[in-house]
């Protein structure tokens, strides 16, 4: 049968591991639709890959579980605050500085830029008015 050749050639492993071309993936979908044996073989391959992954997996240090469980217990025992950030009394906003990675511009330069842009717009408007006044005569 065609599905036996498909399984024995290693095409199924190639698709499941993500090494297949789009044409091979389309062929895989066709086989999945027609042959339930391909689904059975896919399940077996996935179990085999999972067993191999867990067989060679590095276990975490034994003390890590104890440390995590202690931290969870401490967080669970801590009182839960119901206040919101805007009505907290313990936060003081004195000498607040902007982040160092942000560029700061003095307000004078901002005003100068605004005045400059307004002058450009006014001169363009004057030029347009002058142009239409000279053409209209």
pLDDT in tens, 21-74: 899 888 888 888 888 888 888 899 899 888 888 887 888 888 888 888 888 888
Query: What predicted TM-score, i.e. pTM, was given to this entire model?
Result: 0.41
Residue 132 maps to a domain? yes
**b/e code 79-99 from CB counts within 10 Å (16+ = b):** eeeeeeeeeeeeeeeeeeeee
What single-letter DSSP state applies at residue 117?
A: H
pLDDT in tens, 63-115: 888 888 888 888 888 765 555 555 566 666 677 776 777 777 889 999 999 99
Of 35, 55, 75, the position where a domain reaches its end is 55
Tally the domains of the chain: 2
Residue 61 maps to a domain? no
Q: Quick count: other Cβ atoms within 10 Å of Cβ 125?
A: 10
Domain enclosing residue 18, as ranges: 2-55
Residue 32 maps to a domain? yes
Residue 92 maps to a domain? no
Residue 110 maps to a domain? yes
Tokens 């591991």 belong to residue: 17
Handedness of CA 85, 89, 90, 94 (dihedral sign): positive
Measure the N-to-C terminal CA separation of the chain; round to a whole number of Å.
Answer: 93
**3 state DSSP class of 98:** coil
Residue 79 maps to a domain? no
């Amino acid at each position: 049968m065609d599905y036996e050749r498909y399984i024995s050639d290693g095409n199924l492993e190639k698709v499941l591991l993500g090494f297949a071309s789009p044409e091979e993936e389309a062929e895989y979908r066709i086989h999945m639709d027609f042959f339930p044996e391909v689904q059975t073989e896919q399940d077996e391959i996935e179990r085999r890959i999972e067993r191999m992954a867990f067989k060679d997996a590095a276990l975490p240090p034994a003390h890590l579980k104890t440390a995590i469980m202690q931290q969870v217990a401490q967080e669970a025992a801590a009182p839960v605050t119901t206040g919101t950030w805007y009505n907290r009394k313990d936060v003081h906003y004195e000498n607040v500085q902007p982040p160092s990675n942000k560029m700061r511009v003095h307000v004078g330069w901002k005003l100068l830029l605004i005045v400059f842009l307004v002058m450009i717009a006014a001169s363009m408007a004057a030029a347009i008015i002058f142009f239409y006044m000279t053409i209209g005569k």
